[in-house]
Amino acid sequence: MIQAFLQRLARFLDRPFFPWKRLIVGFSLCQFSFENWLLYRQYGVFKSTVRPKALADVITQETFDKSQEYSRAKARFSFVSSCFNEVKGLLVITSDLYPKIWALSGLVVARFLPLRFSGEITQSLLFVFLFNILDTLLSLPFSYYHHFVLEEKFGFNKMTLKLFFTDLLKSQMLGVVFGVPIGSAALALIQKTGQSFFYYLWLFMLVLQVTAITIYPILIVPLFNKLEPLKPGSLKEAVEALARKLKFPLHELYVIDGSRRSAHSNAYFAGMPWKKKIVIYDTLLEKSNDQEVEAVLAHELGHWSMSHTTKILLISQFHLFYIFALFSVFIDNGSLYRDFGFTSERPILIGFQLFTEVLSPTDSVVKLLMNMLTRKFEYEADAFAKKLGYGAELARSLIKLQVQNLSNMDADWMYSSYHYSHPSLTERLKAIGWKGEQAPLKTQDSDKPIKAEDREL
């Protein structure tokens, strides 16, 4: 029934001279304009010198001003990079770069590879490689500026040039090592299963995601960071006791050297449902006391207890099935291929790329809905931690993290609704029931109020 409906829809959309290119360019320009209008609204919030009422008693004016300065710098960078990406994307579309790189890929395959490696799959993989190299080179100046100028200016960057390029090389190598077999398998699956390919492709991706969740903390994370067991002490005992109380299947408790690259902090858990590991950033331990770290982990365990991760995984699987099913409508759409310079060939990979361009407006709607859901989950996890008795500690920890990361402390409601997967700090404090303190919060190892100089976390 689903397949019959999709086939009728495919025939309806495959019309001669349909202006697909103009439609995609229009979508792109509208989305670019809308998102930068939201950024303009948010920039007005970043220019404010008045501390939010909920933070007036716990955040110094100096800290707030520094946070606002950092947020404005990131907003300006975001605007410039988005303009560059928009121009780059429009040039790719209007200059017919897809068929040109596709033709180059075919030429390389024909001249330099044995006959047994010829075919659409090999040409598609080479197309992705060449396009990715081009995109990486064009994005390199922005990535360099972000780490070594913007983040460096505010004391967050801990990377060296050697580490920067080593990470880049590792990422490219991992892309080849995993991308070649996965891409080959996906394309072969589509070729061999015909119009019902989306059922099989969805099952393949489901297995792949579960596998990735399993191997990522074991094989991938150690390539970039060093993990060490949390040292015995009161914090370890408290976390293990909390895990036992909640029946959380804690198997390992690690500290990760996040400070090697950045002064930002975090904590997370990973692993299979019956065997979990908690990973705490060394930057979080450096500036927070034990009770505040416990509060952060109580929040994370709230996500686990209420199955938030599982719910998001199920929703993502539904979304993925919807995308693959809808792609079956466009996979043989001759008018779409012709409008982008493919007169005789209909490469599956190119078809999927063009299909994602057509689908971009709905992606924005999905993003908005998912943000609404994840913000709800954040409120629930905060309430969970508060119910365990960590309300005040969680509030102090959130404020500390906000200060130490120089995160923006207030947000335009439209901008946050569209972009933020988490509620703003003031919204979370209000939901927790934070009443404020009589003096600015203090760091773990100092009697001085938290100021911008304490941003090493």
Residue numbers belonging to the annotated binding site for Zn(2+): 299, 303, 378
Q: Which amino acid is at 451?
A: K
d(CA 2, CA 413): 39
DSSP state of 60: -
Known binding-site residues equal 299, 303, 378
d(CA 390, CA 383): 9
Q: Are strands 275-281 and 250-256 parallel, antiparallel or unpaired?
A: parallel
Q: What contacts 296, CB < 8 A, 6 or more positions away?
A: 267, 284, 288, 394, 397, 401
Catalytic residues: 300, 382
d(CA 290, CA 298): 12
d(CA 201, CA 321): 9
d(CA 17, CA 23): 12
Instruction: Give the three-class secondary structure for 282.
Output: helix
Long-range contacts of the stretch 205-209 (C-beta < 8 A, 24+): 205/320, 205/324, 206/317, 206/320, 208/182, 209/313
d(CA 11, CA 30): 28
